[in-house]
């Protein structure tokens, strides 16, 4: 039996970090909903819980983020009667230090004036705001949960203690009323953390060599009654968007190499052999006839990579051009190329899109695996995902811009949570997210001067949600999702599921510069469409316009 090391929040309290956020805990006041209603069919298993707050004065944001998170958690707990007297884990999205960016003189002005961030911890979209975590935990304790753990797997030096301080969790839960009730845990705190290797659930898409996740054994030995993923709604430059799934998937690998297990960031590695014709045919079909081909060449020698040739820098080459240098490394026994745009490596049209697609496929599979394994262990997993203080453009971290989205959504139907969240974030008419992404496909066809039925098909079936649905269940059809709707805005509630987009203040969230399509579609397109082939190695700047990760990635 292995258990997490439980840290009283006061143990992590201190001023040893250079950054301390502005905090306004006096704003964490519990408000009732103005009205509530049920939308859609009656199916308790598929129910999505939705709170709408509308346009708010800035000094009211934290109050409503706290209140909606609290009320949504109460609704979730009604589905878990054995949580009373039990133990619950809250997993926020907090793997990027706020202070790392605000303390950098080059970035502070950009963050405050261009990205809309604030030093107030409840007005930053880098990590789950403290008002959200506080609302969830306070509801858990009020409803009779005996003990609450708040845990994370922070990547960088200073780890989870620094992340929790710079986001205000430590300051809030160090209050006396949480003594012996709330504890912090660091999932991979020890270098010898015992882990459980699980195969990643696979749908119709290739995983490459990254086929296992390694959650800590303690996650299962703690026997949590319930795990709540406390996420925030973001548009993401590596994964299109993040809502319910990504926050409870990528984290389940150690932050550093450990006993032959790759670190969690290796989930971004793109197989170096992926563009070999044999591999393309293996993925798409043996009868596929490409019109074009690609090669990786060693930057130093300009020689094509052969078996056993392991250069550190390569260029993606077509018949007429080559990309900027891309880093490579070994992962899971194979050579992979680095396509995380935070590193300004692999930022060309071909590999950047493949990198996003492979990341989505992998973390969706990890999420499905974790739901299954935890369910077999007697633990249910739910999501509370706030878009009240969300992010648009090229998030995460500070590459995107803060966006006040006006909603908070929760449920055990994670696919449904994502479907509802996407409709609110992206919808501009009754077609919802489908219409937005279908129109995006048309604009990309116009920009690159080609036509593709498959590109539109992927948008119309929301391929990322379809994959999540196929691996985890959960209703994603807009007209079939039952919604328990709470309105905090003092306006008339919506009466139809195709009006979800009207809950968002203003225009749709600014989307990432990417082709929304699955990896099979993209591989086929880049091997058959001449216009795409001609621009294949083109540098794609995306939204990463500031000095990467200061002190971590140079």
- State the DSSP string of 289-356: --S---EEEETTT-PBP-TT---SEEEEE-SS-BPSPEEEEEETTEEEE---GGGT-S-BHHHHHHHH
Tens digit of pLDDT for each residue in 156-182? Answer: 778 899 999 999 999 999 999 999 999
Closest by CA position to 90, among listed 126, 122, 128: 128
Max Cα-Cα span within the chain: 68
Query: In this predicted model, what pLDDT tens digit does every residue of 96-124 receive, in sequence order?
Result: 777 877 887 777 877 888 788 889 999 99
- Which tens digit of pLDDT belongs to each residue from 400-426? 889 999 999 999 999 999 999 999 999
User: Does 544 score more than 80 pLDDT?
Assistant: no
Tell whether 530 is covered by a domain. no
Contact 122/69 with Cβ under 8 angstroms?
no
Domain presence at residue 377 = yes
What token pair was written down for 398? 């500070």
pLDDT-based confidence at residue 131 (cuts at 50, 70, 90): very high
Q: What is the arrangement of strands in the sheet containing 313-317, beginning at the earlier edge strand?
A: 270-271, 334-337, 326-331, 313-317, 295-298
Position 460 in a domain: no
In terms of Cβ atoms closer than 10 Å to its own Cβ (0-12, 13-18, 19+), residue 66 is buried
Please tell me the distance from the alpha carbon of residue 65 to that of residue 82, in angstroms, as a whole number: 26
Residue 250 counted as domain residue: yes
User: At CA 364, angle to CA 362 and CA 366, rounded to 5?
Assistant: 70
Question: What's the domain range around 78?
Answer: 41-266+362-428+474-503
**Residue listed under structure tokens 């039996």:** 1
- Alpha helices by DSSP H, listed for 377-509, are 414-426, 432-448, 453-460, 463-472
How many CA atoms within 13 Å lie on the side-chain side of 167?
29
Rounded distance between C-alpha atoms, residue 397 and residue 378, angstroms: 34
H runs (alpha helix) in 78-186: 98-102, 105-109, 130-142, 159-166, 169-173
**SS3 at position 271:** strand
Tokens of residue 497, six digits: 């599921």
355 is a domain residue: no
- Report yes or no on 396 lying in a domain: yes
Residue 506, pLDDT > 90, answer yes
Task: Read off the tokens for 420.
Answer: 């509802």
Residue 248 lies in a domain: yes
Per-residue pLDDT of 329-375, as tens digits, reads 899 888 999 887 666 555 789 998 999 999 999 999 999 999 999 99
Mean pLDDT of the chain: 92
Q: Beta 295-298 vs 226-236: how paired, if at all?
A: unpaired
Indicate if the pLDDT at residue 479 is higher than 50: yes
Helix (H) or strand (E) holding 35: strand 35-39
Domain count, the chain: 1
Local confidence band at 490 (pLDDT 50, 70, 90 cut-offs): confident
Name the more confident of 200 and 118.
200
Cα–Cα distance for residue pair 413/267, rounded to 1 Å: 25
Q: Does the pLDDT value for residue 550 go beyond 90?
A: no
Instruction: Tell me, yes or no, whether 20 lies in a domain.
Output: no
> How far is the C-alpha of 32 from the C-alpha of 406, rounded, in Å?
16
8 A C-beta contact, residue 262 and residue 110 = no
CA distance 475 to 377: 24
pLDDT grade for 554, boundaries at 50, 70 and 90: very low
């Amino acid at each position: 039996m292995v258990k997490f090391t439980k840290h009283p929040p006061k143990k992590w309290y201190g001023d040893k970090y250079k950054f301390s956020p502005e905090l306004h805990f006096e704003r964490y006041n519990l408000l009732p909903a103005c009205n509530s209603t049920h939308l859609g069919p009656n199916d308790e298993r598929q129910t999505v819980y939705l709170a709408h707050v509308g346009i708010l004065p800035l000094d009211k944001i934290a109050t409503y983020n706290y209140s909606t998170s609290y009320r949504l958690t109460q609704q979730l707990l009604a589905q878990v009667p054995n949580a009373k007297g039990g133990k619950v884990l809250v997993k926020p999205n907090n793997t990027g230090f706020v202070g790392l960016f605000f303390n950098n003189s080059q970035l502070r002005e950009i963050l405050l004036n261009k990205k809309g961030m604030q030093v107030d911890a409840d007005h930053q979209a880098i990590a789950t705001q403290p008002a959200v975590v506080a609302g969830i935990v306070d509801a858990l304790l009020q409803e009779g949960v005996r003990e609450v753990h708040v845990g994370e797997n922070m990547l960088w030096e200073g780890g989870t203690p620094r992340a929790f301080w710079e986001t205000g969790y430590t300051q809030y839960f160090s209050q006396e009323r949480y003594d012996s009730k709330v504890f912090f845990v660091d999932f991979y705190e020890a270098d010898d953390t015992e882990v459980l290797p699980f195969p990643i659930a696979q749908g119709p898409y290739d995983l490459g060599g990254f086929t296992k996740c390694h959650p800590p054994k303690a996650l299962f030995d703690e026997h949590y009654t319930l795990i709540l993923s406390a996420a925030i709604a973001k548009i993401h430059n590596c994964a299109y968007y993040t809502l319910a799934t990504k926050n409870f998937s990528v984290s389940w690998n150690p932050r550093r190499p450990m006993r032959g297990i790759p670190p969690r960031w290796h989930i971004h590695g793109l197989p170096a052999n992926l563009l070999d014709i044999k591999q393309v045919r293996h993925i798409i079909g043996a009868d596929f006839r490409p019109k074009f081909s690609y090669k990786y060449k060693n930057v130093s020698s300009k020689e094509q990579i052969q078996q056993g040739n392991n250069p550190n820098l390569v260029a993606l080459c077509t018949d007429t051009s080559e990309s900027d240098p891309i880093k490579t490394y070994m992962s899971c026994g194979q050579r992979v190329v680095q396509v995380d745009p935070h590193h300004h490596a692999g930022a060309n049209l071909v590999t950047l899109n493949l990198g996003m697609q492979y990341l989505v496929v992998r973390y969706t599979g990890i999420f499905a695996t974790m739901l299954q394994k935890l369910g077999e262990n007697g633990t249910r997993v739910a999501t509370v995902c706030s878009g009240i203080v969300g992010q648009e453009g090229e998030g995460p971290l500070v590459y995107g811009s803060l966006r006040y989205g006006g909603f908070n959504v929760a449920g055990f139907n994670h696919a449904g949570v994502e479907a509802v969240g996407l409709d609110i974030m992206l919808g501009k008419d009754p077609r919802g997210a489908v219409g937005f992404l279908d129109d995006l496909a048309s604009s990309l066809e116009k920009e690159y001067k080609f036509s593709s039925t498959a590109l539109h098909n992927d948008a119309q079936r929301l391929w990322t949600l379809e994959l999540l649905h196929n691996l985890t269940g959960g209703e994603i059809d807009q007209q079939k999702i039952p919604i328990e709707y709470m309105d905090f805005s003092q306006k008339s509630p919506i009466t139809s599921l195709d009006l979800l987009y009207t809950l968002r203040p203003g225009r749709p969230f600014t989307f990432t510069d990417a082709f929304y399509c699955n990896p099979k579609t993209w591989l086929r397109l880049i091997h058959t469409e001449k216009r795409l082939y001609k621009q294949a190695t083109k540098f794609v700047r995306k939204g990463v316009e500031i000095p990467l990760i200061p002190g971590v990635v140079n």
